[in-house]
Amino acid sequence: MTAITHASATTTTRRRPPATVIAASILLGLIAAVGAYGAIYFTGLEGWSGLGLSFVVSYEFLALGGLIAVIAFLRGHRLGRPGVTVYAIWMTYFTLFKLIAFQELQAIPFGVVAATALVLITRPSSREYRN
């Protein structure tokens, strides 16, 4: 007769992201995509100057970084959470800058979404998520 002394552990290293990670990723992905489009569209309406082109290239670079951070965060990469945290903080400060410098009230939804995502990122379930 054979006795089994131990069961082989079949743990998976992949698991589904928590709801806070999914929600924060969706919010940040949306503001990165909509903001990137808006930067091109509204800068083009005012005319393409050297300063406008410089702004658009810088904004697109940061939006692309935000999208890469969102993907890394969803996949549970160790740099994903710091990346989305930096992007959400940057979007919050950029919104404050636009409100103070240009009195652009249309920027408020971007700041609210970024602040909401920042709250979701700091939740314990988001902090513990790793693959």
Q: Scanning the structure block, which residue is given the tokens 């670079």?
A: 61
Cα–Cα distance for residue pair 73/87, rounded to 1 Å: 12
Q: How far is CA 69 from CA 24, 80, 105, in A?
A: 11, 5, 27
Q: Write out pLDDT tens, residues 72-115.
A: 999 999 999 999 999 999 999 999 999 999 999 999 999 999 99
Both ends of the chain: CA-CA distance in Å? 40
Residue spans of the domains in the chain: they are: 19-126
Check: CB of residue 117 under 8 Å from CB of residue 88.
Answer: yes
Judge whether residue 11 has pLDDT over 60.
Answer: no
Query: So what's the pLDDT on residue 47?
Result: 86
